Amino acid sequence: MDVRVLFNENGLSVRHMTADDYPQMAAWLSDPRVLEFYEGRDRPHDLPRVQQVFGRKLDGAVTACIVFAGEQDIGYIQFYPLAHDEKLAYGFDVAQIVYGLDQFIGEPELWNRGIGTTLMQAMMRYLSRKFRVSFVVMDPQAWNTRAIRCYEKAGFRKARRLPKHERHEGELRDCWLMVWTPEEVESNPARSGSWRTESNLTGSGSGLLGRLVKLDPRQMGGSALDILSSAVFQPTEERMSHILDAVYGSDSTTLYGLAIGPDLVAVAGIRRTSETAAELLHIAVKASERRKGNGSQLVKRVIQAENLEELVAETDRDAVNFYRRCGFTAWSLGEKYPGVERFACRWQAPVNLP
């Protein structure tokens, strides 16, 4: 396959844009029917302008691509990782992997035939596979109801109205922040099927259904770090950076988060001890989100994602009942530190009887 091709799905392909595509881009971005919805009719792009705008993209953080079907180029799509300040402005945590997306189909006679929806769905699969995204965002103008309908069909949801967010044809227009998130984290492709031990792990039903996201320990800040700190004894800056570098920098450990909409509500870190077993190193729920089932939901999601048969943890008297409610067996280890009784907890998958 051509190395420039990112994917080929359902008759649609996406490839990296090159300078050879500039004349086609200039033709699309001079068509008032396209400009009405993308860039604006007051901003036609001739060849020098395309070279100036898209030349910059070819070297930058934005991946600029051409969409084609068979032999015909039909449109443009670009994606990029959101910068820290953009993530914070939209209410995401900086440790979450969030990508942005923009596109247009340059041939108006191809609009309203389901091509946009197919393209979005294929692109989401690509971004999930390639970058393990937690979220993908778009910000269509609120009056562009066809684009919004297309994105909703592809699984995006309106998250927040952004008043006067973008200048278009001389006026500041409201936009919708639209968010897509994978159904389940794809951390273990070998895993399939349903949660076979649902009844073995109780107490997870009362919170809003959250999404499991993987957190990058090198980019922890904001609420992810605050939440994790609440699971650490004396969380000084030095201690937290040691935990992130030395503990979660290792291949055997993973930091997970539970997100509801764009908000991170809980964090858990595990260390793999064998093919089927792990140790829960840290777990914490944001103070305002406790007693809603989020902690047990996160434990359950991590067990599913890692396809675990055993999960062990050590805790104190205050938290031992949380583990019991999650289906763990717990027993006292005695006074491990002066005046502090510790408990060992173990969750095991139920034996499947023939």
Question: Residues in the site for ligand COA, rule: CB under 6 A?
Answer: 34, 37-38, 103-105, 111-117, 140, 144-147, 149-150, 153
Report the nearest approach of ligand COA to the CB of residue 161 (Å).
15
For residue 353, what are the β-bridge partners? none
Choice between 160 and 342, CB closer to ligand COA: 160
Q: How far is the CB of 342 from ligand COA (least distance, A)?
A: 54
Return the exposure string of 276-292: e unless at least 16 CB atoms fall within 10 Å of the residue's CB, then b.
ebbbbbbbbbbeebeeb
Alpha-carbon distance 143 to 138, whole Å? 14
116 or 257, CB closer to ligand COA?
116
CB of 176 to ligand COA, least distance (A): 10
Burial of 260 (0-12, 13-18, 19+ CB in 10 A): middle
Q: Least distance in Å: CB of 94 to ligand COA? A: 25
* Between 109 and 237, CB nearer to ligand COA: 109
* Closer residue to ligand COA, CB minimum distance, 156 or 323: 156
If the CB atoms of residues 78 and 200 are measured against ligand COA, the closer one turns out to be 78
Return the beta strands (E) in the chain as ranges: 5-9, 12-16, 63-69, 72-81, 98-105, 135-138, 157-168, 171-180, 211-215, 253-260, 263-272, 277-285, 310-316, 329-337, 340-348
For residue 116, the minimal CB distance to ligand COA (Å) is 2
Least separation in angstroms between residue 98's CB and ligand COA is 17
Contact 79, 127 (CB under 8 A): yes
**Residue 177 beta carbon to ligand COA: minimum distance, rounded to whole angstroms:** 12
Contacts with 145 (C-beta within 8 Å, 6 or more apart), sequence order: none
Residue nearest ligand COA (C-beta atom): 116
Q: Which is nearer to ligand COA, 151 or 322 (CB)?
A: 151
Residues 6 or more apart in contact with residue 211 via CB below 8 angstroms: 134, 181, 182, 185, 258, 259, 260
Residues in contact with 272: Cβ distance below 8 Å, sequence separation at least 6, in sequence order = 252, 253, 254, 278, 306
Nearer to ligand COA, 120 or 326 (CB): 120
Q: Which of 241, 271, 240, 268 is nearest to 253 (CA)?
A: 271
Minimal distance, residue 122 CB to ligand COA, in Å: 12
In the bound state with ligand COA, the residue whose beta carbon lies nearer, of 54 and 256, is: 54
Question: Do 229 and 244 form a contact (C-beta atoms < 8 A)?
Answer: no
